[in-house]
Amino acid sequence: MNLALDFSFYNWDLVQNFILKGLMFSVTLTVVATLGGIFFGTLLALMRLSGKQWLIVPATIYVNGMRSIPLVMVILWFFLLVPLVIGRPIGAELSAVITFVAFEAAYFSEIMRAGIQSIPRGQVFAGQALGMTYGQNMRLVVLPQAFRNMLPVLLTQTIILFQDTSLVYAIGAYDMLKGFEVAGKNYGRPMEAYIAAAVIYFIICFALSWLVKRLHKKIAIIR
């Protein structure tokens, strides 16, 4: 058995034809899932902090339920079951986007809830004393500070999210890992393709983690 590795087949045409398409989807999925997750996660966090049981109970069930299920299972369930319910397929890529937004909302919810609770209550009382409503207080006083406090954690979760995009491989979506796999099969070098994919994932995530650390230090200095 020949275990010699040969990466000489990698060139710009290969990257352009096989890998860039997958990388673009992985990045797009990460950005959309992050923005959607933060938006819906913030709503879930506000529901859990509202003090109203009819809002707290469903939000808590949703967050705890999602956080208790492996992401790959949610991806498979959505991809296989939703077409049965609506009567038509929705495609692997669209299924991945919707699943990631729904799943990440639960995790971003906990981050935002911690950020909101980190704001001193005195600032909330000050806003109320100025005549602000609950919505105005959250929008103008609490949430801007919570976002700043939680920014490093939000970005760290985004890096984890980018790593998790490789799980859409399970439903055949054309992400970066799929691009490397197709390139490896076409050139008869699957082992080299998977090694190269691991190296690229490492480089991207390591660079982003380094930037998050730098940002965290700057925020700490500002405080």
pLDDT in tens, 51-71: 899 999 999 999 999 999 999
Instruction: Read off the pLDDT of residues 20-49 as tens digits, 9 standing for 90 and up.
Output: 889 999 999 999 999 999 999 999 999 998
Residue 7 lies in a domain: no
CA distance 102 to 80: 16
Burial letters 182-219, b for 16+ CB under 10 A, else e: bbbeeeebeebbeebbeeebeebeeeeeeebeeeeeee
Residue 3 lies in a domain: no
CATH number of the domain where residue 128 is located: 1.10.3720.10
Contact (Cβ atoms closer than 8 angstroms) between residue 181 and residue 173: no
Using DSSP, state whether 192 is helix, strand or coil.
helix
Q: Which of 32, 175, 164, 27 is nearest to 97 (CA)?
A: 32
Q: Give me the percent of the chain exceeding a pLDDT of 70.
A: 92
Of the two residues 8 and 165, the one the predictor is more confident about is 165
Q: What is the total count of domains within the chain?
A: 1
Please give the residue range of the domain that contains residue 83: 12-222
> pTM for this one?
0.88
* Residue 67 neighbours by CB distance under 10 Å: 12
Instruction: Read off the pLDDT of residues 103-159 as tens digits, 9 standing for 90 and up.
Output: 999 999 999 998 888 888 888 788 778 888 777 888 888 888 888 888 888 999 999
